[in-house]
Each structure stands twice: as structure tokens, then as C-alpha cells.
Amino acid sequence: MTKPNTPSAAEALQRLLAIMAALRTPQTGCPWDLEQTFETIAPYTIEEAYEVADAISRGDLADLKEELGDLLLQVVYHARIAEENGAFEFVDVAEAVNAKMIRRHPHVFGSQEERAAGAQPGFWSRIKAEEKADKAAERARLSPEASGQTAAHGSLVLADVPVGLPALTRAVKLQDKAAKVGFDWPDLGPVFQKMREEIEELEEVAFSAAPSAASPEPMATQAQRAAIEEELGDMLFVMANIARHLKLDPETALRAANDKFTRRFAYIERRLAERGKTAPQSTLEEMDALWDEVRALDKERRG
């Protein structure tokens, strides 16, 4: 429910645009904001998107409201820089996504015949293909130096998968693209087999770089470390493929695992504190026993 005297969405957005314009005004604006570019702001944009996801995962609606505002600020920031460069303005960004949403939903916004026909098979691919052609023309106009460049080392199929995505997310999107042209295993069996192969290969190169099998701490040359890194990457790529076949998001799964580890380690710290100790004052055996204890408690809770 809207509170009394609350500005409209348009008024609030216009105020945010005015604030950003003031921050970026030479002589009277903020020195830090005036120094920023697309490149320097991009890491903050990614960070804010993650903080939105984090607030959602925690079910914290107060944080979500704040983080969505911070993410909106990033959009306004980039649009302002683009406007100063004479490329486009915020209104162009908003109108572009408006047009895209209408174009992609003819069964909702289209003619009476299109609405009556509903979502027809293949319409999404056709619309995406049309958009890709339009984007190529827009890219040639706004970024001539970028037009003609193909991402993913020259792959036509994988070219439009953004490089700046988190690595696990990008792995899934690359695999999805390849799968659409038939480059995919038909079921999970071969994927798990490939995972076992990659783990064995990683183990082999990791232990070959160690002083002994009993002490696998890497004492590797630069070439050996490169080989280990490559095999680790291959293993993670296959793990992303397993997540894709299971229709799970590996980033979400890993965030949940991080949260679980944090919660369990906090339990260890609390139990150690009851004994008058801290983690640095404790042995691995003590902490490992408490880890088994909290795992057992988790298992009981799950039933």
C-alpha cells in the first residue's frame, strides 16, 4: 500500500536521475563520481547484483529493497556516462527494454490474432534471431571498434555468451548453447564418467608436483602449476555440466554450500568457546570431531 505523500515511480526515478546528473557535473559535482568510467563502475555493478541475490537467498526484504536501489543506481550511473559520451540516455535504456518485453510477448501484447494464438512453438527463437540482427546494426553504430569482433575465440554458436559472467554460470550457458546444436551427452551417465576421469587427471598432476604422495602440498614449477590449474578448470567445467543436466544453478548450489560451511564453522567456534578455547588454540582433531557433531545434528533436523 502506498504511503500518503509518496512520490510516483516516475517522480522518484526522475529525482534519482537528477541526483546522478548533479554528482557528475564538472566543478560542482563529486570528485570521485566525476572520475568514474564504465570500466571502473562495472565491478560495483556485478557486486550489487550479487548482493541482491544474497538478500533474496536470506529472505531479507529490508535488505532486498536497499540492494535493488543500489542496483538501480548502477543502471543510472552507466546511462549517465553514456549520455555524456553522446551514445544514449536512460530513457533509451528503458524504452529498449520496454520494446523488447512487448516484442517477446506477442501472446500478451500483440494483435488480437496473436493473443488468441498464444505462445506458438519456435516464436522465441525467431524473435531472438531478429533481435540479434538488430543488435549487430546498433553495435556498428555505437561501437564500430567492437563490431565484427566475435567472442568465445571466434565461435559463431557461442559468440553471444557474455565473458563477464561468473565462471560457473558462463560454463552452463556455453554448454546450453552447444547443446542446442546437438553437442551434448544424452543423459547424466557419461557426464558422471567424465567427472571421474577429470578428478583422476587432477589427482595425477597434483600428486606428481608434490614431494611425496604422503604430502600432496604442491611444490610445483610454473609449468606444473599451469597443468594443475587446467585440470582443475576441466573438473569444475564438468561439475557445471552435471548441474545443467540436473537443471540446477551451480552458483546457487555453491552459495548454499558456503552458507552451510559458515554456519557449521560458527557452531565449532561456539562449542570451543564453551571449553574456553578459540579455533587457533585448538587441534584439527578437536575441530573435526565438532564438525562431525554438527553434521549429525543437521542430519537429525532433516529427518
* Statement: residue 215 has pLDDT above 70: no
pTM of the predicted model over 0.95: no
C-beta separation of 251 from 168 below 8 A = yes
Buried b or exposed e, range 87-97, using 16+ CB within 10 angstroms? ebebeebeeee
As a whole number of angstroms, the distance between CA 233 and CA 167 comes to 10
| Domains 9-151 and 185-248 equal at CATH topology level | yes
What are the C-alpha distances in Å from 194 to residues 74, 101, 138, 171? 41, 39, 41, 16
pLDDT at 118: 72
Indicate the angle between helix axes 61-84 and 90-103, nearest 10 degrees.
110
Q: Region 135-152: what's the mean pLDDT?
A: 63
Which amino acid, one-letter code, is at 92? D
* Statement: residue 151 has pLDDT above 90: no
Fold observed for domain 9-151:
Helix Hairpins (1.10.287)
pLDDT at 270: 96
With a pLDDT cut of 90, the percent of the chain lying above it is 61
Extents of the domains making up the chain: 9-151, 185-248, 252-302
Which range is least confidently modeled, 38-52, 151-165, 187-201, 262-276?
Answer: 151-165
- Residue 167: half-sphere exposure toward Cβ, Cα within 13 Å: 9
* Statement: residue 6 has pLDDT above 50: yes
How many CB atoms are located within 10 Å of the residue 68 CB?
15
pLDDT at 258: 92
Please give the CATH number for the structural domain made up of 185-248. Answer: 1.10.287.1080
C-beta separation of 253 from 243 below 8 A = yes
pLDDT at 5: 78
